[in-house]
Amino acid sequence: MTPLLRLFLLLTGFAGAWIAASAQAEVLVVVSESGGAYDEAADAFRAELQRLAPRQEVAVSTVGSLGSMGEYQLIVTLGSQAARSVAAMGQRPPTIHSLLPRSAYDRMAGLKDGRDTAVLLDQPASRQVDLIRVALPGFARIALLEGSESRELVGQLAEAARERKFTIAREVVLRENDLFTALQRALSDPAALIATPDSTVFNGYSIQNIMLTAYRQRSPVLGFSASYVRAGAVLGLYSTPAQIGRQTAELAKQALTGGTLPPPQNPRYFEISTNPQVARSIGILLDEPAQIRAAVAKLEGSPQ
């Protein structure tokens, strides 16, 4: 072998090693399970991070195949199970927990000051009340049902409603048997009922009865998912997995370029769904969802 060939092979070997090292993923996405909303959020995260930082490589793992995380610069979890599994581990890189409600994030142990943050599913209380102002201007009364999982959130909703001069009907539901009586009191006069992600109040067993009672009282329901609108809610306010993935990528870009992790944040991007048929049947005429969304975004200065 000639010296020149030996030098060429040596240099190309180094080049190959450099290319392999440069392709090493710096971000690990841990999903609670494969498929559905998790894949949608992960795909949106990768696409947006690729747009913001084209040279960043992303690896994806499920909870069941999770190994060492020491070689990564940043960890992103999608879903409550993934968040709990990663938070329970010892030494790990800075972590963004995403696609989970605040209640799940607040219950997690093992969080480190300044090394964990979250992109939460919960819509801001101010946005929910502003949606009622925009879409249901004929309603000056808001009904709230407080369960064991929603005391803080209901308090935030009540404060936002008071700031906007709404009358508030707030009832506490301590036991399942309390629900019907509390609902009847809250809707003794027509009111916009805000559903909360509190499984002790709003669950698969109670939702149809809640919707039917609200309908009979000519009271619109604001739900927190598209499925609530299909079940009879007049309005739905929620963020899609793709929107959560996009916001998470924006936060990841900030962390990867040396920025500090901010406190947990609510969704920036959101969707609004309507059920015009149910609305008309109780005497409400709704604008188009896109028009309502643009008006709410303008009120709060959110991206449109």
pLDDT at 11: 36
Residue 301's pLDDT band, with cuts at 50, 70 and 90, is confident
In the chain, the domains with their CATH numbers are 24-121+242-256 (3.40.50.2300), 125-238+270-300 (3.40.50.2300)
- Above 60 in pLDDT, residue 21? no
Residue 7's pLDDT band, with cuts at 50, 70 and 90, is very low
pLDDT at 24: 61
pLDDT at 63: 84
Percent of the chain with pLDDT over 70: 90
pLDDT at 112: 67
Neighbouring C-beta atoms of residue 1, cutoff 10 Å: 7
Note the pTM of the prediction, 2 decimals: 0.86
pLDDT at 5: 33
- Above 50 in pLDDT, residue 22? no
Measured distance CA(75)–CA(108) in Å, rounded: 16
| Per-residue pLDDT reduced to its tens digit, 160-171 | 999 999 999 999
| 3-state DSSP assignment of residue 234 | coil
Task: Write the CA distances from 192 to 135, 157, 189, 292, integer angstroms.
Answer: 11, 12, 10, 16
Task: Write the CA distances from 234 to 38, 198, 272, integer angstroms.
Answer: 27, 19, 11
Residue 13's pLDDT band, with cuts at 50, 70 and 90, is very low
- Above 90 in pLDDT, residue 139? yes
| Per-residue pLDDT reduced to its tens digit, 43-63 | 999 999 999 998 888 999 888
